[in-house]
Amino acid sequence: MKLENKSILVTGGSRGIGRAIAIGMAKEGADIGISYVNKKEKALEVAQEIKNMGSKAVVIQADVSKVSECYGLIDEFFKKFSKMDVLVNNAGICILGKFTNSTEQDYDRVMNTNLKGEFFCAQAAAKKMIKQGGGTIINMSSLNGIVGEPDQCAYNASKGGINMITKSLALELAGYNIKVNGLGPGFIVTEAAEEDVADAEVRREYLQNIPLHRFGKPEDVVGAAVFLASSDSDYFVGQTLYMDGGIMIQQFREMRDKR
C-alpha cells in the first residue's frame, strides 16, 4: 500500500501502458482518475476494475493536444478528488512513416499530443500543486527519446523533448515541493504494437537486439511508476528511468564487437 490515500491522474489510462499503471497504482491503494479521448467504454472498464479493488475511480474525457482541454481535465479532476498527489503524463501517439513522406498534419498530431499535451497538463497540474503544497509529476518518455529509430522521426523528437521538459520542470518546481521525473519504456507490446511484431521475421530482428530476449509488457513499467509516485523516490529529481530489457547496453556491446 505504498500509495494509500493518494489521488492520481493517469492521462491516456484506458489502454496499454496507461491502463497497467492505473491498475498497478490502485493495487497500491491509490484513487485514480483516468482520461480518455474517444474510447469511453475502455476507460469505464478500467475504472470498474479499480473500483472492484476498493479504490475510487473516475473517467474524464479530454484531448490533451488542446491546451484548453488540458486545463479542463485538471480542473475536473480536482472537482472529483479535491487534491492531486500525482500526475502521470502518459497520453501519447506514434505515427509510423518515412521522414520524406511525413505530412504537416502527422507532425502536428504527434507533437501536439505528446509534447504540447504533456507540457500543458504539467503546467495546469503544477499551478494547483503549488497551492496545495506539493505533488509529483511523472512524464512518459521513451527509449526513443535517446536512441533514434527509423520511420518515426516526429515521435523520436517528441520524446527527446519530453526528456528536456522533465529536467527543466524538475529544476523549476523542486522549490515548491513538486517532484518531477520520467519513465522511458523500451519496446512494450501493447494492443497498438501487436501488429508491428506479428511478422515472425520482424519479431526476430527486434528480439536479437534485446538482451532479455523478450518484448516488454505494459506491466513491466508499473514498478518504476509506483516507485516514482511513492515516497521511496523523494530524492529523485529530474531523472528518467528506462526499462528496455537491455537494448541500450546491447548497442554498445555491438559497437565493441565490431572493433
What positions carry a catalytic annotation? 155
89 SS3 class: strand
User: In Å, how far from its chain's centre is CA 225?
Assistant: 9
139 SS3 class: strand
**Closest among 140, 151, 101 to 224, alpha carbons compared:** 140
Judge contact between 167 and 122, C-beta under 8 A.
no
Using left for φ > 0, alpha for ψ between -120 and 50, and beta otherwise, residue 29 falls in left
Q: What does the chain come to in residues? A: 259
Rounded CA separation 214/230 (Å)? 28
- Look up residue 84 and give its DSSP letter: -
* Furthest C-alpha separation in the chain: 60
